[in-house]
Structure 1
Amino acid sequence: MTGFLPKRAMGLLALGVSLIAGSASARDLTVVAWGGSSQAAQREVYYRPFTEQTRVPLLEDSWSGGLGILRTRVQAGNPTWDVVQVESDELQLGCDEGLYERIDWAALGGRDAFMPEAVSDCGVGAVVWSVGLTYDGSRLRDAPASWADFWNTQRFPGQRTLRRGPKYTLEIALMSDGVPQSEVYRVLRTPAGVDRAFRRLDQLRPNIVWWTAGAQPGQLLASGEVVMAAAYTSRMFAARRDDRRDFRVVWNGSVYAVDHWVVLRGSQNRDNAMRFVQFATRPENQSRFPTLAMQGVTNLRAARQVDPAVATSLPTHPDNLAVAVSLDVEFWVDNIEELTQRFNAWAAR
């Protein structure tokens, strides 16, 4: 999941320091994630314990996504990154291009040990994140219950914030217009369905404040500039915990996806990279991650071991999954370029 800022600055700071004593060699194992609060949690739960237990020096970096970056590193013949956290579309496209090493699932306990969306020939699910309807309970006493309420500016006057881009936004628009969650991608795969989503956005357009970074929805809610947001749910629950904000999440119609660990093809640290992936996906390790990051985990045993007080705030809780939409990776791999062009042209009008 992108949007955890700062990214590059944090990564550069981490690059200068090995997680065990001593100077780092040029080819210490390097793990790359999204930065911010999520990577801070990974540092506590995965990076430091891995080095302490294995004595393998580990460096961390952060990035903002983009398959071209990984392609360039692999094609150069000596990628300086070893393990990278990627989104699902980057996983699928990179796997098709041969950019990643193959996963030995037997060493990880088998494919059945993980939720289906976490399983790939080239990657292992690292975290589960979601985008959902959120609002500030201290400002909005009449609680919205659906994306249809998000569009109801008479009952809920004020501005709303949506991600500036087609992904999640078009799905949300269709659900607000009465499309059942199970039918969202069937409808969105048709020209009429895409037109319908944009018509729905037209209706709300005067009340939309766009966000481009994951921190912005919380800031807009906290300032009162918007009354509702489509936001990363982990950020909302982190704000409740850390800043005592009365942010609330409506799980109905939330959209969830899985980020994956991949090992770049040609990594000189392939064996240690695979050791790290194995370590970071063990249930006893994964189960500690949600308490810090407020994101879901992919190992089924780990999900059952999460603190019950935290589990209800995760997209992987059974009650939340039951009313959510799984991001259709194949749809976005096939359509992201065309729909992004159309969205940008629409937004620029």
Structure 2
Amino acid sequence: MIVSNISRLLASLITTITCFVLTSTVAVAVEESITVASWGGAYEKVSKEAYFDSFEEATGIKVNIAAFNGGLAQIRVQVDSGHVRWDVIDIESQDGIIGCDEGLLELLDGIELPDGPDGSSAEEDFLKGAITDCTVSHITWSTVIAFNTESFKSNPPNSTKDFFDLEKYPGKRGIRRTPEVNLEIALMADNVPIEDIYDTLSTDEGIERAFAKLDSVKDSLIIWETGAHPPQLLADEEVVMTTVFNGRVFDAQILENQPFEIIWDGQVRDFSRWAIVANTPNLENAMKFVQHTALSSSQAAFANRMSYGPARRSAWSLVQDHIPTGIDMRPHMPTHPNNSKNVLISDAEWWADHKDELTERFSTWLSN
């Protein structure tokens, strides 16, 4: 009887220890992975090569990738439900401000960002506006207009105005399903100076003016949502011109030999930013990821694969040749002097204040 009781006690103890070990192992496995929401396609591939793989190698923390097309809807559902599945998101500037104000994103005021290779502090080295309460930028990018050269073999378009000139340049146009950029380029094409765009949009008359200009091409529009879609529209000759993220055009030109050209006139420049979803159970590892991508070497690794510029100055000297093909990357950057003669810097604060009302107005306009 005594032996039997001891056996049962030992068996119970072994079971308890086994369960503890298994539970601990599962906990460690969860802690040693993060989920990063990215934009898919070529952009996601480059992000993996420049950021995710090197982070895994440096830390041993696995990066799982989730598909993301922007906005805050999916993040809001996760935070409000208490079931946060994403840890880090690659977010647009105005959404970073709105998400921070709504408590959907973690405050990053305590994060220690790495110094530049020259010893400069992150605060000195990052471009103006690149760091906010809840975000840290990793690239600069632009929405540009691109066209298929097969559609215009002589006298090709070269300005924002040409995008709206259906008589001179007939054919379908592509625009993104958001009011951002579309309202700005409409006013540019309607002769509003770059420096007056947001002051004009701050008036009822300015909003009406922008939508009136969009009305002039409405029947010729095809709407896109994902970054990979505009180059495909051009390649399939569904459109002759489209707004598009500049890096997507570069990839199509260089890697796929597509006959596309960029119109740099009127480019709308912005940052892509890392933000951490509020209440993530993996906050410490998410912070480590943001710190890793803030390294000048990490940002240059991205810029040497896709034509988006680094968000910190010290990384620029590290931007040289395209890793897959060896061509010089610098002339293809939106920040290169030759491409920066008529640039609008997107006003994220303005859009954070006006996004909801103008998104509703834009959606109604599209559906009518």
TM-score range, shorter chain: 0.7 to 0.9
Q: Which of these residues, 28, 37, 40, is aligned with residue 35 of structure 1?
A: 40
Conserved? CA contact 2:186–2:213, under 8 Å = yes
Conserved? CA contact 1:78–1:268, under 8 Å = no
Instruction: Assess, with a 3 A threshold, how the Cα gap between structure 1 residues 224 and 311 changes in structure 2: closer, same or farther.
Output: same
User: CA-to-partner distance for each residue in 1:202-242, whole Å, 9 max, x for gaps?
Assistant: 22223333333333322222233322222221111110112
Are 1:239 and 2:252 an aligned pair? yes
Post-superposition offset of 1:280: 0.9
Post-superposition offset of 1:77: 5.2
Q: Which residue of 2 aligns with 1:292?
A: 305
What is the letter of the counterpart of residue 180 of structure 1?
Answer: P
Q: Which residue of 1 aligns with 2:113?
A: 107
Instruction: Assess, with a 3 A threshold, how the Cα gap between structure 1 residues 319 and 105 changes in structure 2: closer, same or farther.
Output: farther
Q: State, as a whole percentage, how many aligned pairs show the same letter.
A: 33
Conserved? CA contact 1:136–1:221, under 8 Å = yes
Instruction: Assess, with a 3 A threshold, how the Cα gap between structure 1 residues 178 and 303 changes in structure 2: closer, same or farther.
Output: same
Alignment of 1:1-349 (within 5 A): 25-27=29-31, 28-75=33-80, 79-98=84-103, 99-104=105-110, 106-109=112-115, 110-141=122-153, 142-307=155-320, 309-349=328-368
Post-superposition offset of 1:32: 2.3
Following the alignment from structure 1 to structure 2, what is the Cα–Cα distance between the partners of residues 236 and 171?
A: 21
Following the alignment from structure 1 to structure 2, what is the Cα–Cα distance between the partners of residues 209 and 130?
A: 20
Following the alignment from structure 2 to structure 1, what is the Cα–Cα distance between the partners of residues 70 and 249?
A: 22
Post-superposition offset of 1:108: 2.9
TM-score (norm 2): 0.82
What is the letter of the counterpart of residue 74 of structure 2?
Answer: I
Following the alignment from structure 2 to structure 1, what is the Cα–Cα distance between the partners of residues 30 and 134?
A: 25
What is the letter of the counterpart of residue 38 of structure 1?
Answer: Y
Following the alignment from structure 1 to structure 2, what is the Cα–Cα distance between the partners of residues 174 and 101?
A: 35
Instruction: Assess, with a 3 A threshold, how the Cα gap between structure 1 residues 271 and 295 changes in structure 2: closer, same or farther.
Output: same
Conserved? CA contact 2:250–2:306, under 8 Å = no
Q: Which has the larger radius of gyration?
A: 2
Post-superposition offset of 1:81: 2.6
Greater mean deviation of Cα atoms: 308-317 or 242-251:
308-317
Following the alignment from structure 1 to structure 2, what is the Cα–Cα distance between the partners of residues 298 and 247?
A: 26
Q: Which residue of 2 aligns with 1:12?
A: none
Post-superposition offset of 1:65: 3.1
User: CA-to-partner distance for each residue in 1:87-110, whole Å, 9 max, x for gaps?
Assistant: 112211122233313244653332
Post-superposition offset of 1:317: 2.4
Greater mean deviation of Cα atoms: 243-252 or 255-264:
255-264
Conserved? CA contact 1:296–1:315, under 8 Å = yes
Instruction: Assess, with a 3 A threshold, how the Cα gap between structure 1 residues 339 and 265 changes in structure 2: closer, same or farther.
Output: closer
Unaligned runs of 5+ in 1: 1-21
Q: Which residue of 1 aligns with 2:20?
A: none
User: CA-to-partner distance for each residue in 1:34-76, whole Å, 9 max, x for gaps?
Assistant: 2221121111111111121222333332323332432343455
Following the alignment from structure 1 to structure 2, what is the Cα–Cα distance between the partners of residues 210 and 77?
A: 34
TM-score (norm 1): 0.86
What is the letter of the counterpart of residue 125 of structure 1?
Answer: S
Following the alignment from structure 2 to structure 1, what is the Cα–Cα distance between the partners of residues 136 and 89?
A: 11
Conserved? CA contact 2:228–2:248, under 8 Å = yes
What is the letter of the counterpart of residue 40 of structure 1?
Answer: K
Unaligned runs of 5+ in 2: 1-25, 116-121, 322-327
Post-superposition offset of 1:198: 1.3
Q: Secondary structure at the match of 1:153?
A: coil
Instruction: Assess, with a 3 A threshold, how the Cα gap between structure 1 residues 74 and 347 changes in structure 2: closer, same or farther.
Output: closer
Conserved? CA contact 1:24–1:57, under 8 Å = no
User: Would you say how many aligned residue pairs link Structure 1 and Structure 2?
Assistant: 328
Q: What is the RMSD of the two structures over their aligned residues, measured on CA atoms?
A: 2.4
Post-superposition offset of 1:262: 1.5
